[in-house]
Amino acid sequence: MAKINENYLKLPGSYLFSTIAKKVAAYSEQNPDKEIIKMGIGDVTKPLAPSVTEAMHRAVDEMGTAEGFHGYGPEQGYDFLREKIVEKDYKAREMDIKPDEIFVSDGAKSDCGNIGDIFAKDNKVAVCDPVYPVYVDTNAMAGRAGDFVNGHWTNLYYMPCTEENGFMPELPEEKVDIIYLCFPNNPTGVSATREQLKPWIKYAKENGSVILYDSAYEAFITDPDVPHSIYELDGAKEVAIEFRSFSKTAGFTGTRCAYTVVPHELKLNGTELNGLWNRRQCTKFNGVPYIIQRGAEAVYSDEGYAETREAIRYYLDNAKIIRDALTEAGLTVYGGENAPYIWAKTPDGMKSWDFFDKLLEEAGVVTTPGAGFGPSGEGYIRLTAFSTKENTIKAMEKIKKIL
Ligand SMILES: *Cc1c(COP(=O)(O)O)cnc(C)c1O
């Protein structure tokens, strides 16, 4: 008889967003005349930039001609895009990354999840707490996380990110093999400086660990001390894989385009991980559509860059509105300066779900309870800057009124 992957049965239900949706639906049913403002949106809301859609239109037309038709493309992405990425995201910031170290994909979420394919099952994995759930669940599916007991996976190494440590994980006190880091962070909105990242490179070198660096929110960085890439740090190419995405940078959440960097210098036991990832992608992935890659290329044109920056600026302005209003309302807030996320401490040690309920029922504002991102998220709520400016202002007025 065929057998299922039993690891899937160990996964707790993903109740966070469905519970929120149910609570919101119940509230609007009981209060049909009350307005609800969603400040928990985890998706961009601004449309694609004109340069991007124009490039996509041109690519669509090309596809309808005999000369311009593109069938299966290279699994790793077209050279025109890989070369642009190297030039604009790396060379322009004085990093030496080669086009064949770039793997274009349909998402950083897929890549963060799929990367586990090239690692053995018995690696010890470290994750931040709170955390983007993809890192945890995909390792659980692979059998690397152990069992889920009292809110914790028995084989994962949790690195609490708390107010005491400024939401910066501390170096593991034991030897871990794979370390997931995400900066600017989702959900806390906190970013890491070069100085804060340096010890991680050293730790990884000393312990033979690999850092999986999720840089999905790189475009939101405003602080010059915050690196846009892990490879801005010396020695990072020997220990780190980096994930980037056009999703938050350029509004590609619905069009799907991202890339992963696996430097040739990164070797385990003499084997280049670049070759393994290439083998994995060639076997299981058939590339991102030509039309989409032409759209992504346009993000790097002068106009495309200016247009996409405008949307980022808009979200960052919203983040500032949220930070200022919540601070004025007496809350302690973190993040929102180099990220579209604000991590707010609940008042008087209130549980995050209780504060979520209070904001929904009294102010009609939907947030995300921090406890949904891991045990250390208890006592916090996450707000996002992806709403419209008008709604952001309105939601903040309502919250100020009730606090
Ligand atoms: C949104 C997000 C991504 C991007 O995922 P895509 O699949 O590229 O849309 C990656 N990592 C984190 C932490 C995110 O929040």
pLDDT digits (tens, 9 = 90+) for 1-36: 999 999 999 999 878 899 999 999 999 999 999 999
User: 53-300 domain in CATH 3.40.50.800?
Assistant: no
- Whether the predicted pLDDT of 99 surpasses 90: yes
pLDDT, residue 7, reads 98
Contact residues of ligand 1, CB 6 A cut-off: 107-109, 132, 182, 186, 214, 216, 245, 247-248, 253, 258
Specify the pLDDT at position 13: 84
Domain spans of the chain, in order of start: 13-42+303-402, 53-300
- pLDDT of amino acid 15: 80
Kindly state the percentage of the chain with pLDDT values over 70: 100
Instruction: Please identify, by atom number, the ligand 1 atom nearest to the C-alpha of residue 257.
Output: 8
Question: By the 8 A CB rule, do 335 and 186 touch?
Answer: no
Which pLDDT does position 189 carry in this prediction? Answer: 98
* pLDDT given for residue 14 in this prediction: 78
Instruction: Determine the atom of ligand 1 nearest the C-alpha atom of 252.
Output: 9
The two counts, helices (H) then strands (E), for the chain are: 13, 17
pLDDT digits (tens, 9 = 90+) for 363-402: 999 999 999 999 999 999 999 999 999 999 999 999 999 9
* 148-152, 215-219, 275-279: least confident range: 148-152
At residue 11, the pLDDT reads 95
Per-position b or e across 186-212, b if 16+ CB within 10 A of its CB: bbbbbbbeeebbeebbebbeebebbbb
374: tokens are: 């891991």
Report the candidate in 251, 246, 392, 368 with the shortest Cα–Cα distance to residue 319: 392
Question: What is the greatest pairwise CA distance in the chain?
Answer: 67
Cα of 214 from ligand 1 centre, angstroms: 8
Integer angstrom CA distances of residue 2 from 5, 140, 366: 10, 21, 44
- Nearest Cα residue to atom 11 of ligand 1: 216
pLDDT number for residue 315: 98
Q: Which run of H or of E encompasses 48?
A: none
Residue 224: pLDDT band by 50, 70, 90 thresholds?
A: very high
Which 3 state secondary structure label does DSSP give 346?
coil
Would you state the structure tokens that stand for residue 254, as one six-digit string?
């619905």
Give the C-alpha separation, 331 to 354, whole Å: 15
Residue nearest to atom 12 of ligand 1 (CA): 216
Ligand 1 centre to CA of 402 (Å) is 33
Average pLDDT, the chain: 97
Tell me the CA–centroid distance for residue 211 and ligand 1, in Å: 17
Q: Which CATH number fits domain 13-42+303-402: 2.60.40.2140, 3.40.33.10, 1.20.1560.10, 3.90.1150.10?
A: 3.90.1150.10
